Structure formats: structure tokens, C-alpha cells
Structure 1
Amino acid sequence: MTTLLRLLPVAIVVALLVSAALPTGRAQAAAGPAWGLVASTCTASSLAANRAVGITVVEVEAYWDRYMPARAGAVDTAYVADLRARITRCLDAGLRVVLGPGMQYPPAWVRSLPGAALVDQRGKRPTNGAIDTVFSAAVRAAQADYLKRLVTDLPAKRIEAVRVGTSTEGEIGYPGPNEAGDGFLQSWWAFSPAAQQGTGLAAGTARSPMPGWIPGQKAWQGKAVTAAAARSWFLWYSRALTSAVKGQHDALRAAGFTGQVHLPSPGKGVLPADLTTAANALLNGTGDRDGSLGRGLNYTDQFAVLAGSTSKMVIDLSGVDDASAVLARRQSPAQDACRSSDPSTSVAAGTPVHLWSNLRFARAQATRAGLPAIGENPGPPAAQTGGTSYSDSLAEQVRRAPGYARSCGLSALLVAFEWALDDPGSGVTRDDYRRAVLG
């Protein structure tokens, strides 16, 4: 949903923080969820309206291309001053602030850095504007410098969290299905010189364990490729994303930021049974139920890796009452709401997790890893947020999302978007949200 924020004249994202007293696991839900909105303008009128219905924490979205538009080392001082003023206004109004750095909007000079282009197995580049934030040392260094400047230029000691991510939506993941732009559905975005040969490879990231091997090929260097080898290749591919996320986390820590780090995480991720099917087919596209395989979303592994290598990491699950929830609650029995047994049953053979909602399965993986979680709904189905013909309307999302947040033990729920709740045509208002929260 972050892509849509580019359409706003002033891009401020509202979020709710996990309490520092509830850092991990199920304990985070002891006090119940906190409630918030996405894309607040942080004006005096919006602050008053949001606080009137119990909104106490906001996330302010920055834009890298506006912050450092010309070249490395140079900032737009007017933009920085405006961003700092908006953050300070929120803080002085008694609101806590989470910062979205907007690294999904790289300046043109970053796009021209060595190795900045993402490349799939056919030499194609993504049409959605994604750059290589995973393997390119030059891009990762530019990101680290930008994050350092944010911490230095803004009132970072008063900011409670910063978002990180690798995709054009500001979430974890490689580009999705058909983002090579020519109808080819199964792209693997790890075929740059850095990823394959280690040329210009980011520190802490491994190069391909099978250089030159293309998923689906039955042989490599004259030998048959086994299912175990294909699985190992995918593990490398998906863990490269965690290396990139950890790199952003470490850059923030090196700059002196001590608050929480939020990781927006879309969809359900790869299911264990589907990964087995995919590996047995040597990653030829079989078993990629929803594009998670090519996007590298291996939450059953990635969340555990991040839990062991980062501090104050919070998973932001962006599928609260998405289309998968609509389908899941049509099952008999319904499969949408989280259950206390989910962390163990979600990885047990025979559990029909393919019928679960995205939120339910991904939440179980965060719990298994001991990571706290917040969540957000998709927003209006027609507003470029991945809606389908059977998606709930925004009004229905607002009505149902608080229940999902409670059943899944989320520390906070973010409702998208403030501008939609201000739109008389949306069919939902802040008061509707308040009533849904109160039950």
C-alpha cells in the first residue's frame, strides 16, 4: 500500500507502536491492540480528529528522492526542514512517531550506481522501478548513508521506530510475478554480477551457491541437480533478503538509533508443503501458489533469522482482512481467525494452511520466531492496493479488522487510509472505526 502514498501531496503514514513493555511473543497482546490510521497529513485538524477517536501514534513517511535528489552527500535543506517540522509538530502534539524512510523511492543518481539494476534469469529488469537493494554494495552503502542522515537530521531520540524493506512497496521481498513486464510469470531476481559472481557484492551477503544455474534446469556443471540442491538455492535466495534487512537495521544502529525497527511483510509467504513441491520440481514454477516463491518470502525461516540477528524487530503484517481472509472465512469451519495452536500446527504435515488467511499463517510464523507483530488492512480495493472482485469494501475492512487484530494478538492495527475516512464517498468514517474498536 506504500506505493499509493506517492499520490498524496504530503506523505505521512500513521502507525501504532508496540509498547516497549511488551517486546516479544504473546506477551505483546496482553494489553490488547492499539488503534491507528495510515496516511495522516498531521495537520492541526487531522491531529485533533485522530486524537478524538484514540489515535496516539503516527508514522511520518519520508522520500529518499526528495531528501537527496541531486547526488550523494547533498540534501534538499528545504525538504529536510519541512520533514523535521512535521515530525516535531506530531511529537509536540503528544503523538509518538514512527518514521517511514521511503527507501523505495531512490533518487536518479542511486539508480545509476554500479550494480543498481535488478536482473532476472533472462537478463530482464523489473518494470516497476525496483533496484537492487539486496546484492549491490553501492546501493546498500547509499542506503546506509541516507539512514545515517535521517538519524542525524531528525529528532531521532524522540522517534520510536523506523520502517525497513527491500521492495517498491517498502516491504520485504523481490519484485512479484510478471514484473519483468512481458507476461513471463516466474522471475528470479538474483542474476546480477554481484549475485552470481560476487562482483560488487554487499557485505554480509553470500553469492549464488550454484553460479550460472537457472531454476528449472536439471543439470549444473555436468551433474544432476537434486531437490536438496534446489532447496538450498532457494534458501540462499530468500536469506539474501534477510541480509538486506539486517543491513538496514545495522545502519540505523551504527547511526545511533535505538528504537524499534518495523518490517512490513506482505501476504502469507511460502508454505512448507509448497516449498517441498517446488524443490522437487527444481524450482521450475510448480508450487508457487501466489508468487511468494519468486518474491523470496520464506517467513518460516526469515523471521527466525531476523529474530536472532536484530534487536527490537517488529513484523508489520499487511494482510488484515485482505482477499485471502474473505476466502478463508467462507470455509467450513472458517479458517480466517488466529488460534493459539497455530504456531505449531502451521508447520505440521497435513494442516490445510493453504486455506488459512495470509494474516493467520504469517502471524503464526512471527510468533514461532518470538517476534511481536502489528498489522494493517489493504485499504480501498480500487485504490491500487491489490484488491480483487471479492475483496471486502473499506467499510467492511474497518468493521472486521479490529476482531482479526485481537484474535491474532497484534499489538496495533493500522487502518488505511486517513484520506479515505475523510472522503464522504468511502462509506466509512472515523466514528465507524471507533465503534468497530469498541465492539
Structure 2
Amino acid sequence: MALVGVLLTGAACPSYAAPAAEPAWGVVDSTCAPDRLAAQRDAGLTVSVVEAYWDRLQPVPGAFDPGAVAELAARVGRCLDAGRRVVLGTGTQYPPSWVRALPDALLRDQRGAAPRTGGLDLVFAAAPRAALDDYLTRLVAAVPAARLTGIRVGTSAAGEIGYPGPQESGYGLNSWWAFGAPAQTGADLAPGQARTPLPGWVPGTAAWQGRAVTAADASRWFGWYSGALVTALAGQATVLRAAGFAGEVHLPTAGRGVLPADRSVAVGTLLDGHGDRDGSLGRGLDHVAAMPALAEAVPGAVVVDLTSVDDASAVRARALDPPEDLCTPEDAATSLDPTTRVERWSNLRFARAQAARAGLAVVGENPGPPGGTTGGVPDSDPEIEQVRRAPAYARACGLAAFTLAFEEDLHTPRSGVTPADYVGAITSSA
């Protein structure tokens, strides 16, 4: 069983009803450049999320590139030597070309299409999973792992929990990413996974093998689909532990997942697209079920990283009367009450409540500037507004740490954001 770990603050996990006195503050995608570290130290920042890149570290199978290893180790070492607490992103969203060429490497939807981003099947397919296991084992050896605070694991092309989103399918909502041969036939299936409970059944169809499909069938299929993500993440964490990493395993988590009422609608209509407000169903994001399961399945200290701090849902939720964007101490208890209008809540608020229900430690980050290369969408706050608002959300939701996406934007004039803006937001929201 995975217990709530030691947080970035160094304290035991605060209860949701009694949030941490103060989050730790930091940045995402840190270069660990000396001048930036100095400026961030003066601003009171103490956490760096540092990204590794699978394609650079392992351009050919069976070995790491010495130059890339030296660069990563030096980058991590500079941050550590400057007193930063470092969370390492594994960079599995940047797979080498040879991994993409492995059998059953790419995810497939019910139409046989691969994601537009070329997302790997790190959930069901044995060959890319074996390559990933080898990579993670070598990665732990390549960095000063004993000095790291945490290592991130994920399954998506963004390095987060989940299957591809609607924008990656070419068909919008209602794409399902479990139609490769391993998931459908059980051949060359990744360790710990199970084949589909309804081989050949496509969500939204009313019959399977000569009989009517029931809501219970659809619920069982979706439970298998979303539960496979938990198994995959637990497998990555187990590899890290076997390689000798004893720190926190961080789980970057997008959005709020499917809401309970929407899940009921979805399975009642045989997953034909009803009840899917934001693509959570196709991405397999069921935080209500997954977070307790992750707490049980992932070995060692586990931290959920909510990547929705001041996302577009917060913009909408705070415009309501009354506003529904801020976490409250009662959320964990009321979030599953069918009379609670959780569809009005921000993503952060609902997901935070599920982490609290599961007893999981929580950190967070903002989506970044609106645009196709980040988590921001056109109706997100501009980045300067995210900087100004996110610290207040981090405090209200009892996050142990908040890391700003992205470091580069604090140190380039074209962004319109400066370290002083970040410091001002932290100070003014206290």
C-alpha cells in the first residue's frame, strides 16, 4: 500500500481541513542556469522541476548517450547544489524513433488510427513497456537519485496520467485508445495488464457477440480501460523502486476527470459520447476511482501533481454567482454527494477533493500560456493572470508546493512576466 509521503515541505501530509501553512514555490522546466538560480533564490523559490528527454538520452537501444547523461547530471547537480529541491520529469513524452518502431508501439483507437502526436502505448503493449522499463532503470543510475525529492511518471504525450485527449484523435470526443492488438487479443500484453473484457466491442454499439450490451457491461469496460492506467503507473513506480529510487513518485494529473453523474450517464448510454463534457472519458480519467486505487497500487511515497491551477475551468467557476473556484475544507466530504453541483467547480477544486479522499499528498502547477504547445487553451487566463492568481489557489487548496509553468517565461522579456511578478503574487496572496 502506498502511504502518503513526505512532502516537499518536509512535513507530514496536512489534512485537507487544515491546509499547509505555506506552500513551497518553484518553477517547471528549470534549466538550472546559475543566473536564473540566483534570481529565483532572491525571489524565495526553492523547487525545480527538471525535465529529462528520452530521445536524447537513449537515441539507440541498449545504452545511454554519454554526452546527454553528462548534460542532465550537470543540470540536476547545479539545482541540487544551489539548495533546490528537484523533481525530475522522466521525459517519456519524448520517445526515440526506435521505440516508435517497436511492435504495437503506437496507441490505436476504435478506428485503427494512431494519435496525431504519435503517442506510445505505454499501457498495454509489452515491447514499448519493456523499453520504458529499461530507460527508467538507466535514468535512475544517470542522476543523483538519492538527492532528488521526486520523479514524475505518466502515460500521455504530455507526460501526465491518461490516454490521448480529443485534440489528438482527429475526431474530437469519443475516441477510445484500447484497440491495439495487445489490449484486444492479449498477445504481447504488458506485465500486469488484462485484455479487454469485451473483445472487439466498440463503445457506443448496442450488441456484442450476438447479445445486447448492458450498462453494467459498459461500466465494466470503462473500469478496465481507466484501471489499466493505474496498473501502468504502478508498474513504472515499481521499476523506479527496483532501480533504487526511494523518494516521492509524482503523478501529474490533468483536469477533474469524469464526474460521477456524468459517468452514470455515459455507461447508461453505452459510452456513445453522452456525459463526456471535456474528453475525460476517452482519456480514461476517473479521479474518483483512480486516486484511491493509486494510493493502494503505487509503492512508496506518492504525490499527486494537479496541473490545473487557474486553468480555464477556474475562469468559468469564479465568474459564477456565487463563485465556485476556491477549495473549501468540506469538499472532500461533499464532492460525491449527488446534491452538490460539482459541475460548477473548477477542475482543481474537484480533483483536490478526490486526492484528499484518497489521503494523497498534493502539489500543483498552472497550465501555462494559452496555446497549442501548453496546457492553456484560448479561454484560459493570460499567463500574467495565472501568475497573479495561482498562489492564492495553491494556498486555498492546501497544496504542499506550487511550481510555475514555465521557468523560461520568467526570464524572457517577450512573455511579459518577471520574477518580481511571481514574488508579488506570492506576497499579496498570503
Taking the aligned partners of 1:135 and 1:170, their CA distance within structure 2 comes to 17
Shift of 1:387: 3.3
Quick one: which of 118, 138, 150 aligns to 1:161?
Answer: 150
Taking the aligned partners of 2:82 and 2:372, their CA distance within structure 1 comes to 30
Taking the aligned partners of 1:191 and 1:29, their CA distance within structure 2 comes to 42
Which residue in the other structure is 2:29 paired with?
Answer: 39
Which residue in the other structure is 2:227 paired with?
Answer: 239
Which residue in the other structure is 1:329 paired with?
Answer: 318
Does residue 5 of structure 2 align to residue 48 of structure 1?
Answer: no
Which residue in the other structure is 1:129 paired with?
Answer: 118
Kindly provide the amino acid, as one letter, of the partner of residue 34 in structure 1.
A
Shift of 1:82: 1.2
Taking the aligned partners of 2:14 and 2:193, their CA distance within structure 1 comes to 27
Taking the aligned partners of 2:96 and 2:240, their CA distance within structure 1 comes to 20
SS at match of 1:295: coil
Taking the aligned partners of 1:27 and 1:329, their CA distance within structure 2 comes to 21
Taking the aligned partners of 1:427 and 1:421, their CA distance within structure 2 comes to 8
**1:227-255 Cα distance to aligned partner (Å, 9 max, x none):** 11101110000000111100100000011
For structure 2, the 5+ residue unaligned runs are 1-5
Quick one: which of 273, 277, 280 aligns to 1:292?
Answer: 280
TM-score, normalised to structure 1's length? 0.93
Taking the aligned partners of 2:375 and 2:24, their CA distance within structure 1 comes to 25
Taking the aligned partners of 1:154 and 1:420, their CA distance within structure 2 comes to 26
Residues paired across the two proteins, number = 422
Which residue in the other structure is 1:391 paired with?
Answer: 380
Does residue 47 of structure 2 align to residue 66 of structure 1?
Answer: no
Q: Write out the 4+ residue segments of structure 1 that deviate beyond 6 Å after TM superposition.
A: none
Indicate if the aligned counterparts of 1:17 and 1:98 stay in contact, CA closer than 8 A.
no
Using the TM superposition, name which of 293-302 and 39-48 deviates more.
39-48
Which residue in the other structure is 1:428 paired with?
Answer: 417
Indicate if the aligned counterparts of 1:61 and 1:100 stay in contact, CA closer than 8 A.
yes
Kindly provide the amino acid, as one letter, of the partner of residue 331 in structure 1.
L
Kindly provide the amino acid, as one letter, of the partner of residue 56 in structure 1.
T
**1:50-109 Cα distance to aligned partner (Å, 9 max, x none):** 1101111212211001001022x1211111011111111211222222111101111111
Does residue 82 of structure 2 align to residue 93 of structure 1?
Answer: yes
Does residue 197 of structure 2 align to residue 209 of structure 1?
Answer: yes
Quick one: which of 240, 243, 261 aligns to 2:249?
Answer: 261
Taking the aligned partners of 1:318 and 1:159, their CA distance within structure 2 comes to 20
Which residue in the other structure is 1:11 paired with?
Answer: none
Alignment of 1:214-229 (within 5 A): 214-229=202-217
Of all paired residues, the percent bearing the same amino acid is 58
Does residue 72 of structure 2 align to residue 83 of structure 1?
Answer: yes
Which residue in the other structure is 1:144 paired with?
Answer: 133
Taking the aligned partners of 1:362 and 1:211, their CA distance within structure 2 comes to 32
Taking the aligned partners of 1:51 and 1:17, their CA distance within structure 2 comes to 20
Shift of 1:429: 1.4
Does residue 294 of structure 2 align to residue 306 of structure 1?
Answer: yes
Indicate if the aligned counterparts of 2:17 and 2:330 stay in contact, CA closer than 8 A.
no
Alignment of 1:331-410 (within 5 A): 331-382=320-371, 384-410=373-399
Using the TM superposition, name which of 148-157 and 322-331 deviates more.
148-157
Indicate if the aligned counterparts of 2:64 and 2:138 stay in contact, CA closer than 8 A.
no
Shift of 1:299: 0.4
Which residue in the other structure is 2:94 paired with?
Answer: 105
1:28–1:101 distance in 2 versus 1, CA, 3 Å: farther
Which residue in the other structure is 2:3 paired with?
Answer: none
Kindly provide the amino acid, as one letter, of the partner of residue 39 in structure 1.
D
Taking the aligned partners of 1:157 and 1:423, their CA distance within structure 2 comes to 33
1:389–1:127 distance in 2 versus 1, CA, 3 Å: closer
Indicate if the aligned counterparts of 1:22 and 1:28 stay in contact, CA closer than 8 A.
no
Shift of 1:25: 4.5
Indicate if the aligned counterparts of 1:38 and 1:415 stay in contact, CA closer than 8 A.
yes
Does residue 309 of structure 2 align to residue 320 of structure 1?
Answer: yes
Taking the aligned partners of 1:41 and 1:176, their CA distance within structure 2 comes to 28
1:56–1:119 distance in 2 versus 1, CA, 3 Å: same
Kindly provide the amino acid, as one letter, of the partner of residue 267 in structure 1.
G
Kindly provide the amino acid, as one letter, of the partner of residue 166 in structure 1.
T
Indicate if the aligned counterparts of 1:40 and 1:418 stay in contact, CA closer than 8 A.
yes
Shift of 1:184: 4.9
Indicate if the aligned counterparts of 1:375 and 1:414 stay in contact, CA closer than 8 A.
yes
Shift of 1:268: 1.2
Taking the aligned partners of 2:29 and 2:246, their CA distance within structure 1 comes to 25
Does residue 16 of structure 2 align to residue 26 of structure 1?
Answer: yes
**1:197-223 Cα distance to aligned partner (Å, 9 max, x none):** 110001111110111111011111111
Taking the aligned partners of 1:164 and 1:314, their CA distance within structure 2 comes to 11
Kindly provide the amino acid, as one letter, of the partner of residue 334 in structure 1.
P
Indicate if the aligned counterparts of 1:118 and 1:130 stay in contact, CA closer than 8 A.
yes
TM-score, normalised to structure 2's length? 0.95
Does residue 409 of structure 2 align to residue 415 of structure 1?
Answer: no
Using the TM superposition, name which of 377-386 and 283-292 deviates more.
377-386
Shift of 1:17: 5.8
Indicate if the aligned counterparts of 1:68 and 1:76 stay in contact, CA closer than 8 A.
yes
Which residue in the other structure is 2:238 paired with?
Answer: 250
1:279–1:383 distance in 2 versus 1, CA, 3 Å: closer
**1:107-161 Cα distance to aligned partner (Å, 9 max, x none):** 1111111221211111111111101000011111111111111111211111121
1:314–1:278 distance in 2 versus 1, CA, 3 Å: same
Indicate if the aligned counterparts of 1:372 and 1:411 stay in contact, CA closer than 8 A.
yes
Kindly provide the amino acid, as one letter, of the partner of residue 50 in structure 2.
V
Shift of 1:371: 0.3
